[in-house]
Chains A and B, each alone.
Chain A
């Protein structure tokens, strides 16, 4: 029993940190940074525990929780995402008179859910983890409760999110009933034993699960909620929402499709491949037409969902480097996307400001450092070396080529899409450096924490682009278990 508690220690630490954050705010009210400091300390402790556990796989709670290198990898990534979000948010929120303690606590509860998804060994834990991860997301999307856009985004996010949860849950229950087990590995065994044909109940479960997951990762045509939820939320929160819950949903996809449903790969690969093609293409084409930079990045995040799905298809075809590609891409995407949204946060120094493309004209002359960092994130999102985004795309596409079959077609689609995407990312860079300054200047936020967040994201993006080797070793170790 005490061994079990040690194994789930990361989960407990994050949960207790969230409580400590709320307590610290109660004890020292009106101190904006006290809750943030407590949260960052808790994240540091969690990371240390996760590193201690990265040696070997340990199961706890009768196989419901599987600790080890995989959870350590995802938990560290999640902690980094939450830490960067905590750096870029408080001043932005404070300028609009929203508290930061509740914000930090909600983020930490979501991290609990993300860790639980990564550690889950059965369908029940997986679902509880998913809900624990997304429900705080609904709260965060509507965090600016006096702002009509934020609440509008939150309503859409919540309604479609819960609708998709119900669909996913029905699929999970049917799968559990038809294989008589909740354990992910035992489901795979039962499905292999059942032979090649699809039972009606399993087929229905597969259809429901695929629909539910597609909503969660915002794959076309289940993406309607994404642009509004992302555009409406306060900018740093959009950064978190476009990274945290999305990567968590991909971990869910790895758990369900690449562990439990792997024997049915022949049935789901064509569907996921079509979704991936539609997601990449539509995401990029619609992003081309956007003049609001935040909404453009929302559509670009849909396109990135498509690239990640290519890795899932490659892994389904039996190419182990597909999962490695997805895990590497997750880290690169988290850093560069959070960085891009941190940049948008920085140029929204005045409350109520929106960021149109024309507002950014000539920013490079007035604020060269900020514009350089923005260019770095945009080049990385495009996939230009030496940035993290280049290696991320390279690994995913390479694994798809090696997998062969339908995945190699997807590789071609992904490359074509990367070319389309370059147009709208680089257009922003051109506005930053090669246009005359706009008449009404944007007010740039200069909070030290925001700068720290920008620098951390930029350093990560650049470091992964120059020395991707260390992370690749970690990825290999994570999937070996």
Chain B
């Protein structure tokens, strides 16, 4: 099995920081593409924690990588659909800025 040096905690802390940056980016950015990138960052933070838990917790050895691979596949599917939707709305509106998508607000 692969060996990673050190302890579990730093990896989880790093994952937490990456996840928070992603969440902040999602909430703070107005560009739909940037928001999509922020979501990818959050999912990669989850991947990092899944792999780290899978390496350091004896009962989960090997499972973490399988979990991470599945998450990567799901993230790819999600990004594909997301980009398609963003392109579709860009053709209709000629802007990627989400705060200008307000036709239905009453």
* Contact A162–B78 (Cβ < 8 Å): yes
CA of A147 to CA of B103, assembled, Å: 12
* Contact B103–A148 (Cβ < 8 Å): yes
| Interface assignment of B21: CB less than 8 Å from any CB of chain A | no
Please, which residue of chain A has its CB at the minimum distance from the CB of B66?
A124
Q: Pick out which of these stretches binds chain B: A167-175, A366-374, A385-393, A450-458.
A: A167-175
A-facing mask of B1-45, CB < 8 A → 1, else 0?
000000000000000000100110010000010011001001101
Please, which residue of chain B has its CB at the minimum distance from the CB of A138?
B81
* Contact B85–A154 (Cβ < 8 Å): yes
A179 CB to nearest chain B CB (Å): 9
CA of A156 to CA of B99, assembled, Å: 10
Central interface residue in A163, A167, A295, by most chain B CB within 10 Å:
A163
A-facing mask of B38-58, CB < 8 A → 1, else 0?
010011011001100100010
* Contact A177–B49 (Cβ < 8 Å): yes
* Contact A166–B49 (Cβ < 8 Å): no
CA of A435 to CA of B93, assembled, Å: 39
Q: What residues of A have a CB within 8 angstroms of the CB of B66 in the complex?
A: 124
* Contact B59–A180 (Cβ < 8 Å): yes
Residue among A131, A159, A169, A177 making CB contact with B53, cutoff 8 Å = A177
* Contact B103–A149 (Cβ < 8 Å): yes
Please, which residue of chain B has its CB at the minimum distance from the CB of A180?
B59
CA of A138 to CA of B22, assembled, Å: 21
Residue among B35, B77, B93, B103 making CB contact with A131, cutoff 8 Å = B77
Q: Please tell me the size bucket of the interface on B.
A: 35 or more
Q: A135-B77, A170-B49 are in contact. Are A155 and B104 (CB under 8 A)?
A: no
CA of A364 to CA of B89, assembled, Å: 38
| Interface assignment of A35: CB less than 8 Å from any CB of chain B | no
CA of A167 to CA of B23, assembled, Å: 9
| Interface assignment of B86: CB less than 8 Å from any CB of chain A | yes
Q: What residues of B have a CB within 8 angstroms of the CB of A162 in the complex?
A: 36, 39, 78, 82
Q: What residues of B have a CB within 8 angstroms of the CB of A180 in the complex?
A: 57, 59-60
CA of A295 to CA of B103, assembled, Å: 13
Dominant secondary structure of chain A at its interface with chain B: helix
- The A/B interface has a contact count, at CB < 8 Å, of 119
Q: What residues of B have a CB within 8 angstroms of the CB of A345 in the complex?
A: none
A298 CB to nearest chain B CB (Å): 10
Please, which residue of chain B has its CB at the minimum distance from the CB of A134?
B78
* Contact A176–B67 (Cβ < 8 Å): yes
* Contact A169–B46 (Cβ < 8 Å): yes
Residue among A170, A181, A228 making CB contact with B59, cutoff 8 Å = A181
Which residues of chain A in 279-334 are interfacial with respect to chain B, using CB atoms and an 8 Å cutoff?
290, 295
Q: Please tell me the size bucket of the interface on A.
A: 35 or more
* Contact A146–B63 (Cβ < 8 Å): no
Q: A131-B77, A176-B67 are in contact. Are A148 and B59 (CB under 8 A)?
A: no
Q: What residues of B have a CB within 8 angstroms of the CB of A159 in the complex?
A: 26, 32, 35-36, 39, 82, 98
* Contact B35–A170 (Cβ < 8 Å): no
| Interface assignment of A210: CB less than 8 Å from any CB of chain B | no
* Contact A151–B92 (Cβ < 8 Å): yes
Residue among A138, A151, A173, A295 making CB contact with B46, cutoff 8 Å = A173
* Contact B85–A166 (Cβ < 8 Å): no
| Interface assignment of A120: CB less than 8 Å from any CB of chain B | no
Q: What residues of B have a CB within 8 angstroms of the CB of A228 in the complex?
A: 104-105
B85 CB to nearest chain A CB (Å): 5
Q: What residues of A have a CB within 8 angstroms of the CB of B39 in the complex?
A: 159, 162-163, 166
Q: What residues of B have a CB within 8 angstroms of the CB of A165 in the complex?
A: 78
* Contact B81–A158 (Cβ < 8 Å): yes
Please, which residue of chain B has its CB at the minimum distance from the CB of A181?
B59
Residue among B43, B57, B84, B101 making CB contact with A152, cutoff 8 Å = B101
- Can you report 9 residue pairs joining A to B where beta carbons are below 8 Å apart? A155-B85, A158-B81, A163-B26, A166-B22, A166-B39, A174-B49, A176-B60, A231-B104, A290-B106
The 6 A-B residue pairs whose C-beta atoms are closest, nearest first, are A177-B53, A166-B42, A151-B89, A180-B59, A148-B92, A152-B101
Beyond the given A128-B70, A139-B81, please list 18 additional residue pairs across the A-B interface where CB-CB is below 8 A: A124-B70, A127-B70, A131-B74, A142-B88, A147-B92, A152-B89, A154-B85, A155-B101, A159-B32, A162-B36, A163-B23, A166-B43, A169-B71, A170-B19, A170-B46, A177-B50, A180-B59, A290-B106
